[in-house]
């Protein structure tokens, strides 16, 4: 029988390698300064103000309104964007996994609680909930406290869905004969959940985690469009020009949100961060589908 290639997994892994390379490159090789400003350049004898078009001033993807190299900022932004998305996803898993396992085992009010939380979070768009929470509490915290509040808020709107998936998987697995045999021999619930049920559902959980990280990236992009950013802003004024507001930290969602008004006049400025976000989400979706197919083949 001919071997069937798992194309989604191969595509996802190839894209993941490129993404990891973008994250690692700034630590191992000089790629430029993401905060270097360029006030103007001369093209064909004429002075040109930023944003510079792709190819101008030696910038392959052009620049933003501050004359900062977009390619360099996107490379540096991979580290910030992906690592924060990964952190938020891990917080979701840490909240959802114990709750889902316990709800699937004990059922009753715990199972009802997970369903109610899913209904509540699905009833209102996630970015709206986060915007309200950060708008109400964000004024009381600053710096690292604000970042922690941001991560917890984004994690909180998604973990009920993951907990419900874990609950359903746990309920299905708990009906298997070897689980009933482990209970009959007097194995404690903790041992049954972590030694017998979790290894069985781990493949499905990994698929869900990859999907969840893609959703986290999308929410981060949506929040940036609403003005909820990770790294804050900086006010810049060149000689003889009106002051402009720029994103301080190279993060793809913020780069997209802060420059959305340039989509008609200088479309490359918001376009490339949007492409980076879209490609990363596609990478995670390919990985999720590829892992799902792999686990299905294993039975």
Q: Assess whether pLDDT exceeds 90 at residue 95.
A: yes
Neighbours of 247 (CB within 10 A): 26
Torsion angle of the four alpha carbons 25, 30, 36, 39, in this order, in degrees rounded to the nearest 10: -110
Give the residue with greater pLDDT, 229 vs 175.
175
Q: 48: helix, coil or strand?
A: strand
32 contacts 63 by C-beta, under 8 angstroms: no
pLDDT bracket for residue 222 (50, 70, 90):
confident
CA-closest candidate to residue 163, choices 225, 121, 124, 221: 121
pLDDT tens-place string over residues 135-178: 777 667 777 788 888 889 999 988 999 999 999 999 998 888 88
pLDDT over 90 percentage in the chain: 43
pLDDT tens-place string over residues 26-80: 888 888 899 998 888 888 888 888 899 999 988 999 999 999 999 999 999 999 9
The Cβ-side half-sphere exposure at 162, using a 13 Å CA radius, reads 29
pLDDT bracket for residue 94 (50, 70, 90):
very high
Domain locations in the chain as residue ranges: 78-298
Q: Assess whether pLDDT exceeds 60 at residue 214.
A: yes
Cα–Cα dist 226/241, whole Å: 26
Take residue 93 and report the two structure tokens written for it: 């898993």
> In the prediction, which pLDDT does 1 show?
44
Helix, strand, coil: what percent of the chain each, to 5?
70, 5, 25
Q: Assess whether pLDDT exceeds 60 at residue 299.
A: no
CA-closest candidate to residue 74, choices 25, 16, 121: 25
Q: Assess whether pLDDT exceeds 60 at residue 2.
A: no
**89-93, 114-118, 245-249 — which is least confidently predicted?**
245-249
**Please, is 127 exposed, middle or buried when counting C-beta atoms within 10 Å of its C-beta (0-12, 13-18, 19+)?**
buried
Cα–Cα dist 13/176, whole Å: 33
pLDDT tens-place string over residues 268-295: 999 999 999 999 999 999 999 998 888 7
Fold of 78-298: MetI-like fold (1.10.3720)
Mean residue pLDDT across the chain? 88
> In the prediction, which pLDDT does 44 show?
81
């Amino acid at each position: 029988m001919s071997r069937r290639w798992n194309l989604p997994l191969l595509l996802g892994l190839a894209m993941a390698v490129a993404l990891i390379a973008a994250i690692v490159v700034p630590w191992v090789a000089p790629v430029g300064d993401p905060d270097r400003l360029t006030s103007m350049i001369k093209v064909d004898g004429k002075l040109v103000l930023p944003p510079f078009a792709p190819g101008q001033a030696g910038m392959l993807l052009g620049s933003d309104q501050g004359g900062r190299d977009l390619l360099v900022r996107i490379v540096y932004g991979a580290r910030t964007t992906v690592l924060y998305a990964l952190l938020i996803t891990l917080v979701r898993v840490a909240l959802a996994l114990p709750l889902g396992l316990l709800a699937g085992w004990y059922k009753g009010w715990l199972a009802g609680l997970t369903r109610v939380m899913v209904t509540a979070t699905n009833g209102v768009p996630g970015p709206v909930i986060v915007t309200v929470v950060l708008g109400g509490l964000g004024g009381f915290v600053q710096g690292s406290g604000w970042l922690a509040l941001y991560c917890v808020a984004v994690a909180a709107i998604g973990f009920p869905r993951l907990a419900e998936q874990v609950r359903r998987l746990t309920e299905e697995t708990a009906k298997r004969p070897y689980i009933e045999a482990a209970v009959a021999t007097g194995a404690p619930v903790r041992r049954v959940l972590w030694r017998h049920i979790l290894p069985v559902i781990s493949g499905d959980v990994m698929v869900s985690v990859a999907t969840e990280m893609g959703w986290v990236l999308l929410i981060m992009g949506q929040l940036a469009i609403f003005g909820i950013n990770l790294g804050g802003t900086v006010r810049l004024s060149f000689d003889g020009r009106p002051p402009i507001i720029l994103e301080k930290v190279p993060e793809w969602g913020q780069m997209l949100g802060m420059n959305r008004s340039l989509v008609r006049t200088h479309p490359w400025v918001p376009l490339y961060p949007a492409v980076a976000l879209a490609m990363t989400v596609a990478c995670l979706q390919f990985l999720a589908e590829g892992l799902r197919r792999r686990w299905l083949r294993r039975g």
